[in-house]
Amino acid sequence: MREIKPNLDNTLRKKLTPVAWKNVKIVDGFWGPRQEINRTVTLPAEYDQCKNTGRIDALKLKWKPGDPNKPHHYWDSDIAKWIEAAAYSLALKPDNEIEKKVDEVIELIEKAQYEDGYINTYFSVVEPGKRWTNVYVMHELYCAGHLIEAAVAYYEATGKRRFLNIMCRYADHIDSVFGREEGKKRGYCGHQEIELALVKLYRVTGEEKYLKLSCYFIDERGKTPHFFEAEAIARGEDPEKSPIKESLNRSYLAAGPYAYFQAHLPVREQTTAEGHAVRVMYMCSAMADLAAETGDKSLLDACETLWENVTKRRMYITGGVGPLEGSERFTFDYDCPNESAYNETCASIGLVFWAHRMLQFEGDGKYTDIMEQTLYNGVISGVSLSGDSFFYANHLASHPGLYENKISRNPRMLPERQKWFECSCCPPNLARLTASLGEYIYSKSEGEVYIHLFIQSETELELGNKRVILSQKTEYPWDEKIEITVSPEEEMELTLSVRIPGWCNGAQLRVNGEAVAIEHYVDKGYFKLKRLWSKGDKIELVLPMPVEKIEAHPSMRNNCGRIALMRGPLVYCLEETDNGKDLNDIFIPAGSTLSAHFDKDMLGGIVTICADALIRDKSRWENQLYKRAETPKEKITVKAIPYYAWSNRKVGEMIVWMQGE
Ligand SMILES: [Zn+2]
């Protein structure tokens, strides 16, 4: 087994520590109401769905063949993510109703646990006796990982150890089954998740065995002979003829069938993001965690290589990743089709997780920029403004006709958010990220505090032996002004590092009213000011937000001759409700006036963008499908809304990338 040397290599050691979610209070602004809707609408709605679909009752282990609501092998993970979201939310704002429900579900989980620690509803009632015989596809370790994350969150939120103890027993059982020692299975999960969960369990318990087990799962992945084949043989199957292998072989994955599971190569040898997008994101998050805990630079190097590939070749402007519907996966460089974009909400959430871990090493704003871009676009597009319906896929363009005339409809692809899905990973994933968003705003390191995201909030943190209260007042992303107050309990020296977003030119900053020449103080995307701070010191930051036209790389074939509009971190789109049909005919000429207005009554209060545009004169087209190219263009004004807010009105056309120059 790889020797673990915790934190021996100081050069690699993670420099920053996030300020924990429970120490950050988000107030009003853009995110306060979103967290409130998450607590009062999303969490109850998701509980009802878990209840009505049988997910919660399945934990009673009473299901028999012939009964309705046959448990599915990933159901435990949906409940786990809901508990995790509820835990964060409860700690921020007590809610008796939700707390009672969480406690009831935890009691069911405890009762569903076997003597040896094992918990899984599917393998308890649908395929009893077959546990750990098909970790290739059956998500057993994935479900365990989500339950562990939920238990850690619940412990941190309430201080109650009950659920954590349950999950330690389960993790101990997993440790007794998997590993390189004689008699153990040399396996790993087809869907990464347990790896990052075990790091969380290690951090909260201090038990090194959980860190070692996580290292084992990451190190074992992609080694030959493939465990997935060994376990197929153990099941009495011919691995070459197993249905999954056959279907994967038919999928023509360039890197081979195991690329779908990121098991085509050992993780350190992977240089491009291949296969199922969520799995890549969770795997890389775990690799970054392990690099931070063990000082293993080779893992961080692999993360950086994959990061470059994802963010410079394979990511949508919204932070969406994984364009292909068929297997929720990456395809090839610059392949970002718009209408068929899959961009699973969970994959963007995973990108936020990964970015957040990467930025803690050096405090490099390149990670924070992607984290913010993804959060404000491809992540929150996943939930309706009302908080009770969800996108699984996040398209970059849409036409209702694509869905009205199909032989089969995949509910995940529909242009209207759905209340729930048969495979409902995304809704509770959004709920847990929204509830724990406080964790993404600030970090600290020795004598230094970082502000990553501009979110109206307050935190109290300890630096050395002194306490500092840090607060932000802002209407970001609508408004370009951010007021930061630094209040140490007594005068103290510290470095304040404030992110200057990559999208921003001409940021201005004043300290206690005095202008500071920002350019002299910026390092890796952060403005760094070391000085003596005293109670009530104020920083006023202005991040100018002109509307920008963005073009895509020339190799991104779908977007040649097209532009997207951005203002600050937000990507904009055109919707039929505001602009009529045939959005693809709209052309934004060079020099077009682009103006931004705050409309408090529209879509919960948004900044809209109006742009001068051209469109062909349809009255010149009689009953023709094609004609000589000579149709003059008419001047019109179009109105764009933030991408995340699309599909909250009537179903209609939508585009992000419009013709333009
Ligand atoms: Zn999902």
pLDDT tens-place string over residues 283-306: 999 999 999 999 999 999 999 999
Distance from Cα 314 to the centre of ligand 1, integer Å: 19
Distance from Cα 274 to the centre of ligand 1, integer Å: 17
Q: Report how far residue 276's alpha carbon sits from residue 425's, in angstroms, rounded to the nearest whole number.
A: 14
Distance from Cα 389 to the centre of ligand 1, integer Å: 13
Residue 425: active-site member: yes
Q: Write out the DSSP string of 604-632.
A: TSEEEEEEEEEEE-GGG--S-S---S---
pLDDT at position 405 over 80: no
Q: How far apart are the first and last CA of the chain?
A: 57
Q: 596-647 pLDDT, tens per residue?
A: 999 999 999 999 999 999 999 999 988 999 999 998 899 999 999 999 999 9
146 vs 140, 190, 282, 425, 505, CA distance in Å?
A: 10, 14, 12, 11, 41
pLDDT at position 12 over 70: no
Residue 634: active-site member: no
Distance from Cα 404 to the centre of ligand 1, integer Å: 24
What is the per-residue pLDDT for 111?
Answer: 98
**The residue type at 2:** R
CB 572 within 8 A of CB 477: no
What is the per-residue pLDDT for 278?
Answer: 98
Distance from Cα 424 to the centre of ligand 1, integer Å: 6
- 5 confidence band (pLDDT: 50, 70, 90): very low
Q: Which of 156, 220, 328, 653 is catalytic?
A: 328
Q: State mean pLDDT over 49-72.
A: 96
Distance from Cα 213 to the centre of ligand 1, integer Å: 26
Distance from Cα 154 to the centre of ligand 1, integer Å: 22
pLDDT at position 2 over 70: no
Q: 309-357 pLDDT, tens per residue?
A: 999 999 999 999 999 987 899 999 999 999 999 999 999 999 999 999 9
pLDDT at position 6 over 50: no
What is the per-residue pLDDT for 409?
Answer: 78
What is the per-residue pLDDT for 404?
Answer: 82
Question: Which H or E element spans position 81?
Answer: helix 75-92
- 507 confidence band (pLDDT: 50, 70, 90): very high
480 vs 75, 184, 347, 475, 572, CA distance in Å?
A: 43, 57, 29, 8, 17
Q: Report how far residue 90's alpha carbon sits from residue 98's, in angstroms, rounded to the nearest whole number.
A: 8
Residues with Cβ within 5 Å of ion ligand 1?
Answer: 344, 346, 425-426
Average pLDDT, the chain: 94
Distance from Cα 345 to the centre of ligand 1, integer Å: 6
pLDDT at position 35 over 50: yes
pLDDT at position 407 over 80: no
More confident residue, 372 or 406: 372
pLDDT at position 279 over 90: yes
Q: State mean pLDDT over 227-256.
A: 79
Q: Which of 284, 425, 426, 573 is catalytic?
A: 425
Distance from Cα 36 to the centre of ligand 1, integer Å: 22
| pTM recorded for the entire structure | 0.97
Distance from Cα 391 to the centre of ligand 1, integer Å: 9
Q: Write out the DSSP string of 145-188.
A: HHHHHHHHHHHHHH---HHHHHHHHHHHHHHHHBSSSTTSB---
Q: 444-495 pLDDT, tens per residue?
A: 999 999 999 999 999 999 998 899 999 999 999 999 999 999 999 999 999 9
Query: How many CA atoms lie less than 13 Å away from 314 in the CB half-sphere?
Result: 29
